[in-house]
């Protein structure tokens, strides 16, 4: 490539590459492309590691696409319960009445179903699960409604 | 917390956000392709942008920086501040010509349907350039027109986002250093970042502690901060002290997020140009050379040419078995990760080849 293109042409190419790919991606995802290709959304806490023990935030975690809020509830027996709530009209239309699978740290999975109000509770029976294990996990919509 | 997919895509998050705004303004989230006009409703648009800044982790972490220190009260607070001090930040012009926001406003006005109310003679922000003029637009139907809208928004964002990103790059909270009595100018922030980079080099990856005097002295000798005669003068300021305290913190989020923010800034250097975007035909020779050198595959070149020619990603991916297979096998069907990887590979090759020029 040496000598073939000027610095200005190279800068124009890099600019074009940057603008066109990202604009096309934004449009693709805006039109629901993500949902078609990969119905999975991630939940991730912002500061899972720190000097002290990490606690699941009382205000909950919002999914990366902003469409689901999840809170952690602890039963007296000690079982952890994840309470999901789809957010807004878009969240409801996507999640209500659909089955879903949460994939936690270490590949452990748990299943549940969103009700017609976009609410889902998943009881985690595994006593070894700690709050730090819930700092990052994925939720995948399964194809068929229950 | 380990850097996840959103962190890896930090390099292009500013361009992605510009593309997102362009698509929103064009009504691509709600209108069908056959609709010719779009009504600009500021409050509705604000709600969508605000929601995206809060809900999309890529924006909230890399653009807004909700991990910064001291942490904002809530993600909403941080998004409000980002909106006020980046998206609605007045952009001045360099010299006598129009500012990047004026150029954006001109493009928006050129698509006006009906009369355009006169604008006040004040420096415009991205927001005012987009919604302060015509209330109905002829849509940017041709893809090259949409790319140009995105390009002009990106030029504004590169300018308006810079001071904010420089504070984040220091690991600090923009709210503390962009407004009020402790506000610091962008040149000092850039100098401080260059110093911090040199200091990190001196500390050889051993963070979570205070640097020793030898490391401080060596870093300042490599990258002195303009306006300070020596390292002591700098570290006794509030800013210098805050940087060292942050560096001594144990918060791993800062270290991973720092790299993503730094990438958004360094990426601008190679791509700043006032020339118009290339069309697909003009870009093809660059891609052919990237194929010949093995940086990208032939089918990937076709994908990039198709994107630049205005074909939709869904259409291109749907009609190419090789790309779909590669997407599934290597990127777990995460199209964003694949396109970011492809774009990065191509940009790295072309940049390196450009630098190798005698």
Do B247 and B332 lie in one domain? The reply is no
**Inter-chain residue contact A42 with B147, CB threshold 8 Å:** no
pLDDT score for B97:
85
For the stretch A18-65, pLDDT in tens is 999 999 999 888 876 544 344 567 787 765 555 667 788 888 888 876
Do B157 and B24 lie in one domain? The reply is yes
Residue A116 in this model has a pLDDT that exceeds 50? yes
Do B232 and B149 lie in one domain? The reply is no
In chain B, residues 103-132 whose CB comes closer than 8 Å to chain A: none
Do B19 and B115 lie in one domain? The reply is yes
Instruction: Select the residue of B271, B293, B333 nearest A14 (Cβ to Cβ).
Output: B271
Instruction: Select the residue of B6, B15, B285 nearest A19 (Cβ to Cβ).
Output: B15
Do B12 and B148 lie in one domain? The reply is yes
Do B234 and B301 lie in one domain? The reply is no
Q: How many CA atoms lie within 13 A of B170 on its CB side?
A: 30
Q: Which of B271, B290, B311 is the last residue of a domain?
A: B271
Instruction: Select the residue of A1, A44, A136 nearest B353 (Cβ to Cβ).
Output: A1
Helix (H, G, I), strand (E, B) or coil at B198: helix
B272 touches chain A (CB under 8 A): yes
C-alpha B156/C-alpha A17 separation (Å) is 18
pLDDT score for B268:
45
Instruction: Take residue A14 and report the two structure tokens written for it.
Output: 């890099």
Rounded to an integer, what is the distance from CA B52 to the centroid of its chain? Answer: 15
Q: What angle do CA A35, B326, A30 make, to 5 degrees?
A: 25
Secondary structure element (H or E) that encloses residue B235, with its range? helix B231-235
C-alpha B26/C-alpha B30 separation (Å) is 9
Q: How many structural domains compose chain B? A: 3
**Inter-chain residue contact B253 with A49, CB threshold 8 Å:** yes
- Residue B128's domain spans which residues? 5-161
For residue A42, the distance in angstroms to the closest alpha carbon of chain B comes to 9
**Inter-chain residue contact A38 with B271, CB threshold 8 Å:** no
Do B91 and B211 lie in one domain? The reply is no
**Sequential pLDDT tens for chain B (358 residues):** 333 333 344 557 889 999 999 999 999 988 888 899 999 999 888 988 988 888 777 787 778 877 677 777 777 888 899 999 999 999 988 777 899 999 999 999 999 998 887 877 889 999 999 999 999 999 999 989 999 999 999 999 988 998 998 898 888 889 889 998 888 998 999 999 999 989 988 988 787 788 999 999 999 999 999 999 999 999 999 999 998 888 887 665 455 455 555 555 544 445 566 788 999 999 999 999 999 999 999 999 999 999 999 998 888 888 788 888 889 889 888 888 899 889 989 988 888 876 665 5
For residue B30, the distance in angstroms to the closest alpha carbon of chain A comes to 9
Do B144 and B231 lie in one domain? The reply is no
pLDDT score for B3:
33
Instruction: Select the residue of B56, B151, B347 nearest A14 (Cβ to Cβ).
Output: B347
Helix (H, G, I), strand (E, B) or coil at B167: helix
Do B349 and B293 lie in one domain? The reply is yes
**Inter-chain residue contact A26 with B16, CB threshold 8 Å:** yes
Do B303 and B259 lie in one domain? The reply is no
Q: Which residues of chain A have a CB within 8 Å of the CB of B67?
A: 46-47
Contact A73, A85 (CB under 8 A): no
Do B12 and B106 lie in one domain? The reply is yes
Contact B82, B164 (CB under 8 A): yes
C-alpha B254/C-alpha B258 separation (Å) is 6
Q: Which of B242, B271, B300 is the last residue of a domain?
A: B271
Beta strands per DSSP E along chain B = 37-39, 136-138
Q: What angle do CA B109, B115, B120 make, to 5 degrees?
A: 65
Do B330 and B226 lie in one domain? The reply is no
The interface pTM score, or ipTM, of the predicted complex is: 0.86
Q: What is the mean pLDDT of residues A6-15?
A: 88
A73's CB contacts (< 8 A; 6+ apart) are: A80, A81, A82, A83
Q: Residue B115 class from Cβ within 10 Å (0-12 exposed, 13-18 middle, 19+ buried)? A: exposed
pLDDT score for A143:
57
For chain A, the average pLDDT equals 79
Its pTM stands at: 0.74
Among candidates A143, A133, A141, A135, which has minimal Cα distance to A108?
Answer: A133
| Among A25, A58, A63, the residue to mutate for chain B (most B Cβ within 10 A) | A25
Contact B133, B117 (CB under 8 A): yes
Instruction: Select the residue of B276, B313, B354 nearest A28 (Cβ to Cβ).
Output: B313
Rounded to whole angstroms, what are the CA distances from B111 to B19, B136, B228?
Answer: 18, 8, 49
**Phi and psi at residue B278, in whole multiples of 5°?**
-75, 155
Q: Which of B271, B291, B316 is the last residue of a domain?
A: B271
């Amino acid at each position: 490539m040496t000598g073939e293109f000027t610095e200005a042409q190279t800068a124009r190419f890099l600019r074009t590459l940057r603008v066109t790919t990202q604009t096309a991606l934004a449009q693709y995802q805006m039109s629901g492309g993500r949902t078609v290709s990969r119905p999975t959304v991630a939940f991730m806490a912002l500061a899972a590691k720190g000097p002290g023990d990490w606690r699941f935030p009382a205000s909950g975690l919002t999914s990366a696409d902003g469409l689901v809020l999840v809170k952690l509830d602890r039963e007296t027996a000690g079982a952890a319960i994840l309470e999901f709530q789809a957010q807004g009209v878009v969240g409801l239309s996507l999640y209500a009445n659909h089955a879903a699978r949460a994939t936690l740290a270490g590949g452990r999975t748990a299943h549940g179903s969103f009700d017609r109000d976009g609410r889902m509770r998943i009881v985690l029976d595994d006593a070894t699960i700690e709050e730090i294990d819930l700092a990052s996990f994925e939720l995948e919509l399964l194809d068929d409604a229950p | 917390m380990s850097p996840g997919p959103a962190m890896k895509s930090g390099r292009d998050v500013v361009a992605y956000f510009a593309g997102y705004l362009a698509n929103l303004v064009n009504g691509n989230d709600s209108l069908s392709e056959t609709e010719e006009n779009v009504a600009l409703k500021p409050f509705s648009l604000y709600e969508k942008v605000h929601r995206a800044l809060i809900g999309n982790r890529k924006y909230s972490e890399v653009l807004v920086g909700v991990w910064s220190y001291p942490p904002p009260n809530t993600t909403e607070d941080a998004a409000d501040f980002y909106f006020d001090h980046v998206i609605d930040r007045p952009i001045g012009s360099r010299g006598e010509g129009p500012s990047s926001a004026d150029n954006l406003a001109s493009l928006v006005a050129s698509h006006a349907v009906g009369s355009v109310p006169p604008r006040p003679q004040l420096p415009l922000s991205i927001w005012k350039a987009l919604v302060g003029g015509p209330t109905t637009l002829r849509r940017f139907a041709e893809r090259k027109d949409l790319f140009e809208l995105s390009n002009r928004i990106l030029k504004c964002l590169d300018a308006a986002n810079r001071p904010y990103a420089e504070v984040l790059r220091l690991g600090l909270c923009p709210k503390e250093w962009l407004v009020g009595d402790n506000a610091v100018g962008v040149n000092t922030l850039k100098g401080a970042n260059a110093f911090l980079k040199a200091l990190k080099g001196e500390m050889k990856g051993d963070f979570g502690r205070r640097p020793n005097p030898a490391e401080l002295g060596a870093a300042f000798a490599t990258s002195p901060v303009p306006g300070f005669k020596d390292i002591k003068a700098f570290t006794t300021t509030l800013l210098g002290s805050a940087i060292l305290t942050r560096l001594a913190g144990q918060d791993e989020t800062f270290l991973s997020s720092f790299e993503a923010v730094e990438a958004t800034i360094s990426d601008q250097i190679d791509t700043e140009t006032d020339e118009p975007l290339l069309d697909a035909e003009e870009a093809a020779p660059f891609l052919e050379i990237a194929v010949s050198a093995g940086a990208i595959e032939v089918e990937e070149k076709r994908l990039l040419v198709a994107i630049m020619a205005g074909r939709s990603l869904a259409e291109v991916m749907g009609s190419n078995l090789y790309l779909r297979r590669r997407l599934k096998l290597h990127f777990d069907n995460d199209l964003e990760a694949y396109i970011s990887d492809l774009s990065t590979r191509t940009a790295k090759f072309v940049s390196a080849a450009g630098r190798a020029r005698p």
